[in-house]
């Protein structure tokens, strides 16, 4: 048993985020017998998770609720109503519910329940390699023990930070959706490298390691990204020539607008899920 994680964990939903967390938990040493998963359809997904990660899978939400102490809501936000109506008869006081649903507030999930604790979490796909940053917001029934359990769980797959729930839309836009922005940038670097004459393999290796190294340097030195950027940028050099183009094309403006659009979309999703 992994220190700090004493519960059996049941995943309601078997999509990409669920698999990232399952893979991270298995990598961190959580036994497959302590992880269960179910989903609404696509039994082949459950077969994949069982074969890949050695966990228990079942098409029955009742079976997951009976066996698990912690239930991770990992379905699509649009499926929340159907899933909770099916789960509600089997949820007892011993259950801790962790919601991964973008745009869905703790109070919305609480409306389906009778005082069960709810914690809202926003990890990202880097959980699969134990490098997620997970923001946690706590519902009104979440006691210190529930907070500790949730933190211990997500600390296994990266770093956790507590935030006010009003900030979760911003967290979603930056930490939840943010990896996709970075992947898009990496795609662009790779394509540019190929167009410049590199092989696809060489361009990919250079782009991946460059992004990894840049992030690692920020994290391990504690230096500000802006300071490191200035250190790399020599007056009249190649980096300055490249950055001049990015600035002229509105690079920061585009990123800022992308984040604002993601926040707006999270708010729209929340508006459709305010009541069961």
List the structure tokens of 260. 């604002």
The confidence score (pLDDT) of residue 118 equals 96
Task: Give the count of beta carbons closer than 10 Å to the beta carbon of residue 214.
Answer: 14
Question: What's the pLDDT score for residue 1?
Answer: 45
- Identify the pLDDT of residue 268: 83
The structure's pTM equals: 0.84
- For residue 69, what pLDDT is reported? 93
Cα(115)–Cα(111) distance, integer angstroms: 9
Contact 72, 98 (CB under 8 A): yes
Per-residue pLDDT tens listing for the chain (276 residues): 454 566 899 999 999 999 999 999 999 999 999 999 999 877 899 999 999 999 999 999 999 999 999 999 999 888 999 999 999 999 988 899 999 998 889 999 999 998 999 999 999 989 989 999 999 999 999 999 999 999 999 999 999 999 999 999 999 899 989 999 999 999 999 999 999 999 999 999 999 999 999 999 999 999 999 999 999 999 999 999 999 999 999 999 999 999 999 999 888 877 776 555
C-beta separation of 145 from 119 below 8 A: no
Architecture of domain 178-268: Orthogonal Bundle (1.10)
pLDDT at 3: 45
Which CATH superfamily is 9-163 part of? NAD(P)-binding Rossmann-like Domain (3.40.50.720)
Domain residue ranges of the chain, discontinuous segments joined by +: 9-163, 178-268
């Amino acid at each position: 048993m992994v220190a700090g994680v004493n519960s059996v964990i049941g995943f309601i939903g078997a999509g990409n985020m669920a698999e990232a967390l399952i893979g991270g938990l298995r990598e961190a040493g959580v036994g497959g017998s302590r992880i269960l998963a179910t989903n609404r359809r696509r039994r082949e997904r459950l077969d994949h998770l069982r074969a890949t990660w050695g966990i228990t899978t079942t098409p029955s939400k009742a079976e997951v609720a009976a066996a698990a102490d912690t239930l991770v809501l990992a379905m699509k936000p649009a499926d929340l109503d159907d899933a909770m109506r099916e789960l509600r008869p089997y949820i007892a006081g011993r259950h801790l519910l962790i919601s991964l649903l973008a745009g869905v507030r703790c109070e919305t999930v609480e409306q389906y329940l009778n005082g069960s604790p709810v914690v809202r979490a926003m990890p990202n796909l880097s959980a699969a390699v134990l490098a997620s940053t997970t923001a946690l917001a706590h519902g009104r029934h979440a006691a210190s023990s529930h907070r500790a359990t949730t933190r211990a769980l997500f600390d296994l797959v990266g770093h956790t930070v507590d935030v006010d729930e009003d900030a979760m839309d911003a967290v979603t836009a930056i930490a939840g959706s943010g990896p996709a922005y970075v992947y898009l940038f990496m795609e662009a670097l790779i394509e540019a490298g190929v167009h410049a004459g590199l092989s696809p393999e060489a361009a990919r290796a250079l782009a991946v390691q460059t992004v990894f190294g840049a992030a690692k340097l920020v994290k391990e030195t504690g230096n500000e990204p802006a300071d490191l950027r200035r250190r790399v940028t020599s007056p009249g050099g190649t980096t300055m020539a490249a950055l001049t183009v990015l600035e002229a094309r509105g690079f920061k403006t585009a990123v800022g607008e992308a984040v604002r659009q993601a926040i707006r979309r999270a708010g729209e999703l929340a508006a459709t899920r305010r009541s069961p």
